[in-house]
Chains A and B, each alone.
Chain A
Amino acid sequence: DQQVKQNSPSLSVQEGRISILNCDYTNSMFDYFLWYKKYPAEGPTFLISISSIKDKNEDGRFTVFLNKSAKHLSLHIVPSQPGDSAVYFCAASGGNYQLIWGAGTKLIIKP
């Protein structure tokens, strides 16, 4: 039973446009959400996070939106750059030791 779902395995976006990556979750006990970026053959790197008490968090070109009623979060990247091409993972935490991970979305930025 997948508690965190990223339904788009891949996404292709033109350089300079907005990239929107989506993530859905089923467990209402999750109270913290994270986005990680991963290049091939490397470990994931933390990108941005959001607590369940907020509905938006911004960091430079990256904004995460949380819709608790829909159990949905999204990552917006504006403007998209070639270096943004990577796999993006959504992860959720219920306050214990464990992060629950989505399967990832491969973002391809076209020049």
Chain B
Amino acid sequence: DGGITQSPKYLFRKEGQNVTLSCEQNLNHDAMYWYRQDPGQGLRLIYYSQIVNDFQKGDIAEGYSVSREKKESFPLTVTSAQKNPTAFYLCASSPRTGWNEQYFGPGTRLTVT
């Protein structure tokens, strides 16, 4: 079955710790995206990647970092510099940048206390 997997589904961390969220896809898609969702708000773009070894900041990249060493994988690190990290994080992919439909993973709920 082709799709996007995110792990873990729930993650708890202490304030001041960096944490890495996993995102893997087997759809052979070139483009991958990370979004954040907060209650009552739409999805906000954190980072996106059009191709391996390339990524660009989205609207709210501060306090986050990413890597794209493999086509299938696009991990997101939430650093201690992110002021309000508790949120629902969604990874998505599309066949290529500019392809309008994006396909989403199940999400990771991160809680930082």
* A residues in contact (CB < 8 Å) with B: 4, 9, 32, 34, 41-46, 49, 89, 91, 93, 95-104
Contact = CB atoms under 8 A, between A and B. Distances in A.
A9 B40 contact: yes
Contacts of A44: 43, 90, 104
A22 to B, nearest CB: 15
22 contacts: A9-B40, A34-B100, A42-B106, A42-B107, A43-B6, A43-B91, A43-B106, A43-B107, A44-B90, A46-B101, A89-B43, A91-B43, A96-B97, A97-B48, A97-B50, A97-B97, A98-B48, A99-B43, A99-B102, A101-B44, A103-B40, A103-B41
B54 to A, nearest CB: 12
A1 B43 CA distance: 14
Nearest to A103: B42
Q: Which 6 A-B pairs have the closest CB atoms?
A: A43-B104, A101-B42, A101-B43, A97-B97, A32-B100, A103-B42
Nearest to B10: A41
Interface string B85-106: 0001011100001101111111
A104 B54 CA distance: 31
A105 to B, nearest CB: 11
Contacts of A46: 101-103
B58 interface: yes
Given A97-B50, A98-B45, A41 B100 contact: no
A92 B15 CA distance: 35
